[in-house]
Amino acid sequence: MTALLPKEKTRPATNLGNQIILLYGKPKVGKSTLASKFPGAIFAATEPGLKYLNVHQVQVGDWRDFKTLCVELLQSDHEFKTLIVDTVDLLWNHLCDHICRKEGVSHISDFKSFSKGYRMAKDELQRVLTKVANLTTKRGHSMGLVLISHVTETQDDGSLVWAPSISQSPRQVLMSMADVICFADIYKDSSGDVKRVLRLGPHPNYMTGGRIPNLPDVVNLEYKEFETAVIDALEEVNNDGK
């Protein structure tokens, strides 16, 4: 009989290597460029938009393509360490189409129970992404996961809130899974200069935050700054736990 009780404590995360990041933002702000800087990045490309980036990518035209990619990441010998889903909005659409074909309906809302199709898709999305997030490669790397979405405006108690554009049902799954939820923003400051930033900390006008406390409210949209902010916040958490 295999013993299930652990002999050692798990080691707290200290880097971005095995984090789940939900990254959303305005068009052309630099989301894919930022994601490409993650260690050992490989893109599950569900839409065109990577033609100007020198990256490893797999074209994902349907849900089967994505699952095949996940299996290869588990079973093959490779150096990849972070899976980038760009975009998770279209991956969700592929999943809904897959379930419709499998169940013989035209649309995900066409089940006798209106919520059944959405529930099936939501459960499958969570199951597969959780498997990826817990994946350890043949070389012993824990896979990181970056989920890229566009942005939409929504209302919350009369206030404007920027949120990932994926529909509410899968958005709940992604936000519950994510260690860091960040909004890539672009604006002009008082001098008229264009600023590209990454909003990290909880804010009433942005769906941001996550599991890691003490993240700064905003950093420049640069990978090194983002990495430093997350590592500093993780170290603070780990020191508090000693």
pLDDT in tens, 72-95: 999 999 999 999 999 999 999 999
Residues 6+ apart with CB under 8 A from 170: 88, 92, 121, 122, 125
Quickly tell me which residue has 């990619």 as its tokens.
69
Q: What is the largest CA-CA distance in the chain?
A: 69
CA 214 from chain centre, in angstroms, equals 20
Q: What is the mean pLDDT of the chain?
A: 90
85 is written with which tokens?
Answer: 């889903």
Checking if the pLDDT of 46 tops 70, the result is yes
Residue 219: what pLDDT? 96
Asked whether 84 and 43 are in contact (CB, 8 A), the reply is yes
Checking if the pLDDT of 113 tops 80, the result is no
**First vs last Cα of the chain: how many Å apart?**
34
Q: Alpha helix (H) ranges present in the chain? A: 31-36, 63-75, 88-103, 116-133, 168-177, 223-240
Q: How many CB atoms lie within 10 A of CB 64?
A: 11
Local confidence band at 116 (pLDDT 50, 70, 90 cut-offs)? confident
Residues 6+ apart with CB under 8 A from 127: none
pTM, full prediction:
0.91
pLDDT per residue as tens digits for the range 146-159: 999 999 988 777 78
Local confidence band at 114 (pLDDT 50, 70, 90 cut-offs)? low
Q: How many CB atoms lie within 10 A of CB 111?
A: 17
The residue-averaged pLDDT of 171-177 equals 94
Instruction: Compute the distance between CA of residue 25 and CA of residue 130 in angstroms, rounded to an integer.
Output: 23
SS3 105: coil
Checking if the pLDDT of 31 tops 80, the result is yes
Residue 241: what pLDDT? 56
SS3 70: helix
Beta bridge partners of 155: 160
Q: How many CB atoms lie within 10 A of CB 212?
A: 18
Backbone angles phi, psi at 7, to 5 degrees: -95, -25
Local confidence band at 242 (pLDDT 50, 70, 90 cut-offs)? low
SS3 242: coil
